[in-house]
Amino acid sequence: MAVIRDVMPAFELFQPTSVEAAQAVLDRYGAGAWVLAGGLDSLDWLKDRIRRPQAVVDLGAIAELKGIRERDGGLEIGAMTTLTEVVRHPGVRERYAILLEAAEAAASPQIRNQATIGGNVSQDARCWYYRAGWPCYRAGGNICYADTPDAINREHAILGADRCVAVNPSDTAPALIVLDAQMVIRTAGGGERVVSAEDYFVGPGIDITRMTVLEPGALLTAIRLPRTWAGAQFYFEKIRDRQVWDFALVSVASAMTTSGSTIERIRIAVNGVAARPLRLRAVEAVAEGRPRNEATAVVAANLAVEGAQPLGFNAYKVPLMRNLVKRAIRGVEAAAWTS
């Protein structure tokens, strides 16, 4: 929808310096308020006139939301920390390299310099029917334009669709899920709520108009990386059409610890296949305690795509996801690609 018009329609702009002040503005404007982090998702909505908020609350001036701190032997990343800052942080590089890889895979250098990790996990679906302002389920209507016999749905979901077949576009989400990251939320009432990354995302069955558990007026303030998976063996891969800008067609992330050739513990998550990033619990259960070899990888990968329901143009995602899961268990060199 890249259509240049003059400037965006007018809105009030607030630049509070504390979370409390930001929430006061959100409360004052209610449904007319819009939270602005890096702006890469927001400004598209506003420029296209699909969303027309009365007031925009820029979180950029809130110091407590920025930076990466040590916490309980792990790290706490402020929600307004840019992806570039995450990529360059030595603690992330040493202990949580998978998050570095995932953040580095997002968009383009300039976008990573500006986009925040909080915005990356909270961004909206990129289904173009939805983005173009069609009155679909996600927009509060009663129709999915992407799941019809003749819809253009090459990038859409193969799993977990409930009326809406959009996928979650976040690159860091699967990495955060395998790291068992804890999302720190300031609720609209001012309380603190911590949910695991896995539960931070909601599918359309639960709430078709939202991507995350963030209620109106609530803010994601920080992401905590616990010690649990620090320094584990990681695997991250993102498949996309162009190596820059594009969102994942399918991405996979895994963290595992092995003793000898046996998989001791493993966590594995995929994105780009459902409206929320999926943690593959069944795959984890099957892989744990088994040798890390082709046979285990094949069993796990076949299990991963069980129940997949491709749409008109995205059946390729089934073998893609299956092979990525295989690689996430065996590593890219060892795993044989099967179509």
Partner 1 sequence: MDILTWGRNPWDQPVLTHISWNLLWAALFAGLAFLVAHASYMIFSAHRKRHAAETDAMEIARADLPDRIVRHSLPARLFHWLMAAAMFTLLITAFLPVVGLRFPWVTWHWIAGLTLTGSILFHIIHATVWLDFWSIWVGPRDLPELRAELLRDLGHDVPGPRPGKYPLGNRLYHLAIVVVALVAVVTGLCMMVRIRTPFFTRNPYLFSDTTWGVTYVDHGLAGVTLVGLVIAHVYFAARPEKWWITKAMILGWITRRQYLEHHDPDRWAVRQLPTPNSATPNSTTPNSGLASPTL
Partner 2 sequence: MSLSRRNFIKGVIAGGAAASSAAYLFRGAGSLFGQTSAPGSVERLLSLTVNGQTRRVDVLKQETLAMTLRYKLGLTGTKIGCDRAECGACTVLIDDVPHYSCSVLTHTVRGRRIVTIEGLEGPGGVLHPVQQAVVDEQGFQCAFCLPGFVMAAVGALKTNPNPTREELAHAVSGNLCRCQDYDKILTSLLRGAEYMRRTT
Binding site for partner 1 (CB under 8 A): 132-135, 139-145, 147-149, 161-163, 202-203, 205-207, 309
Residue 319 interacts with which of partner 2, partner 1, none, CB < 5 to 8 Å by class: none
The helix/strand/coil state of 65 is helix
4 binds partner 2 (CB under 8 A): yes
Residue 293 interacts with which of partner 1, partner 2, none, CB < 5 to 8 Å by class: none
The window from 39-47, 119-127, 253-261, 292-300 that contacts partner 2 (CB under 8 A) reads: 39-47
Tell me whether residue 108 or residue 187 sits nearer to partner 2 (CB atom). Answer: 108
Tell me whether residue 91 or residue 141 sits nearer to partner 1 (CB atom). Answer: 141
243 binds partner 2 (CB under 8 A): yes
User: How many CB atoms neighbour CB 41 within 10 A?
Assistant: 17
Tell me whether residue 63 or residue 244 sits nearer to partner 2 (CB atom). Answer: 244
330 bridge partner residues: none
Retrieve residue 286's tokens.
């099957």
111 binds partner 2 (CB under 8 A): yes
Task: Measure the CA dihedral 24/30/32/38, to 10°.
Answer: 50
- DSSP designation for 201: B
Length of the chain, in residues? 339
The amino acid that residue 120 corresponds to is: N
Distance from C-alpha of 54 to C-alpha of 132, rounded to nearest angstrom: 20
The window from 106-114, 164-172, 190-198, 257-265 that contacts partner 2 (CB under 8 A) reads: 106-114
Contacts 24+ apart (CB under 8 A), 302-309: 304/270, 304/280, 305/158, 305/159, 306/282, 307/159, 308/158, 308/159, 308/273, 309/158, 309/159, 309/161
**Under 8 Å CB-to-CB from 327, ≥6 apart: which residues?**
235, 237, 252, 335
Residue 149 interacts with which of partner 2, partner 1, none, CB < 5 to 8 Å by class: partner 1
Tell me whether residue 106 or residue 255 sits nearer to partner 2 (CB atom). Answer: 106
Tell me whether residue 15 or residue 302 sits nearer to partner 2 (CB atom). Answer: 15
Cα 108 → chain centroid:
16
Q: What is the largest CA-CA distance in the chain?
A: 63
Residue 206 interacts with which of partner 1, partner 2, none, CB < 5 to 8 Å by class: partner 1
The amino acid that residue 196 corresponds to is: S
109 binds partner 2 (CB under 8 A): yes
Residue 194 interacts with which of partner 1, partner 2, none, CB < 5 to 8 Å by class: none
In the complex, least distance from residue 304 CB atom to partner 2, rounded to whole angstroms = 31
Residue 161 interacts with which of partner 1, partner 2, none, CB < 5 to 8 Å by class: partner 1
Interior/surface letters 160-173, b for 16+ CB within 10 angstroms, e for the rest: bbeebbbbbbbbbb
46 binds partner 2 (CB under 8 A): yes
Single out the residue of 18, 27, 94, 113 in contact with partner 2 (rule: CB under 8 A): 113
Tell me whether residue 12 or residue 207 sits nearer to partner 1 (CB atom). Answer: 207
Contact positions with partner 2 (CB under 8 A) in 142-171: none
Single out the residue of 19, 50, 55, 143 in contact with partner 2 (rule: CB under 8 A): 55
